[in-house]
Amino acid sequence: MRVLQFATPLLASNMYLLAEKGRGIIIDPYGGFIPQITGECSGIDYILLTHEHYDHISGANALRERYGCPVVCSEACGRRIRNSTHNFSRYYEAYAAIQTGEPLPAGLPPVAECFTYADEVFSGQRTLFWQGHELVLTETPGHSPGSICILADETRLFSGDTLLPGDVTVTRFPGGSGRQYKEIALPYLWELPDETLVYPGHYKAFPLWEHKIKMEE
């Protein structure tokens, strides 16, 4: 299975394409990468959302329409992506301007009032078997109520914003919870093998042991 990473213009959030035998799965969709997806895959079977924040869901409607595949996420994420306050799109332009000191790049689609919906939701955990691979989706709330991690073939973890390289996970966004992160997300991460390769929601991939060392310090 090939893993392709695409950094979006929305705060350099990562979209991932998992490609196998001409088929694909998209994690955290962004609508601007359709040519790259088409170059790799003849079709997409699932769109997975690691959490509900706008920079990770903005392409859900466009890519679902294009490929006719289901959008899958946690139940909490499925509720919150329907609401532009809860999915953060209504605040996004202001947040990006405050954080970067600049307006959004020209040519981006308008971000206000972004709504989408999930076709399939789960609570706790769900396993997908796809093209000979196993993907385990696990709820890891803390960064947001709808956050999940996706473990592929027990070796590769798509962590969304639950785990970023070198960063302390942000749990202060509206709806976030430091308590849930400590009680649910951290124990889950801690139990994964050290050699697990983490594909985060921002920045480049890194081995989990790097983060575990930081957690122990």
Partner 1 sequence: MTNIEKYNEAFIESFGVTEEQLPDLAYQEIPEWDSVGHMQLIAALEDAFDIMFDTDDIIDFSSYEKGKEFMAKYEVEL
Q: Please give the residue ranges that form the binding site for partner 1 (CB under 8 A).
A: 85, 88, 90-91, 93-95, 97-99, 112, 170, 172-174
The distance of closest approach from Cβ of residue 59 to partner 1 in the complex, given in angstroms and rounded to an integer, is 21
27: which strand partners? Answer: 16, 48
Encoding tokens for residue 34? 């359709």
The distance of closest approach from Cβ of residue 156 to partner 1 in the complex, given in angstroms and rounded to an integer, is 28
The distance of closest approach from Cβ of residue 214 to partner 1 in the complex, given in angstroms and rounded to an integer, is 20
Rounded CA separation 134/111 (Å): 34
The distance of closest approach from Cβ of residue 71 to partner 1 in the complex, given in angstroms and rounded to an integer, is 25
Residue 182 burial (CB count, 10 A):
12
- 92 or 122: CB nearest partner 1: 92
207: which strand partners? Answer: 197
- 43 or 174: CB nearest partner 1: 174
Rounded CA separation 158/74 (Å): 14
Nearest C-alpha neighbor of 11 from the set 101, 74, 81, 90: 101
Side-chain half-sphere CA neighbours of 164 within 13 A: 15
- 90 or 212: CB nearest partner 1: 90
- 99 or 123: CB nearest partner 1: 99
